[in-house]
Structure 1
Amino acid sequence: MLLSQLKLYKTWCKQTKLSYGKKISEKDLLISYQTGDKYSGSYILYALRRCIKRIGINKITPHGLRHTHATLLINQGVGVKYIAERLGNTPMMILDIYGHTFKDVKEKL
């Protein structure tokens, strides 16, 4: 279900960019409906802060979300190679950064 929603969103993004006469790149996923441009990093941080305030959770940065994402994948038993691909790192970098998490998961088993 989520994958089909992402495909629909990607199609919508491409159509929106074309409607503004902008070129399409396979890496383009996040765009602004009003302009067809990519969201800036500051806008994403602003939106994240608004969401955090609205739902009343502890503050977290986009980079913190990245670490949380990686840790959740590790705890679910996802392989190092797949995690590295998702985060745009090498498997060795993932092991260097999150090696302790892999050890903790193994100890729980």
Structure 2
Amino acid sequence: MWCSTGLWVGTRFPALVTCQGKVLLAALSAEKVLEVLAEPSRSGLPVDTLAPNQIDDILAETRERGWALADQDLAPGIRSIAVPVRDGRGVVRAAMNVARATVSPGRNALSLRLASYE
């Protein structure tokens, strides 16, 4: 099955709706997260307003797992996972993701497959 989102390299999205954004935010201190999220979005898309405790929960889960999931958060029918890319000192410098159509393996199957590599 072919699936296209019509996105280009450099397309911007609010950080909390992408798995890469969640991974990058989870690597920051709580103060820096608040600072980053206080900046206006340059994506041109409306930003969902989440309560601070919801943001804390999302980022805590990401930190605990070591990877992030975006289950149709960005677009209907698209599920993606991202992992941090660390430098030689262990500092998160980037995030790498893979996306699939939701008709492919379910959320639990993706979690189990990723967990098997840990």
TM-score normalised per structure 2? 0.27
Structure scoring higher RCO (CA < 8 A, sep ≥ 6) equals: 2
Q: Is the strand fraction higher in 1 or 2? A: 2
TM-score normalised per structure 1? 0.28
Larger Rg over CA atoms: 1
Q: Is the helix fraction higher in 1 or 2? A: 1
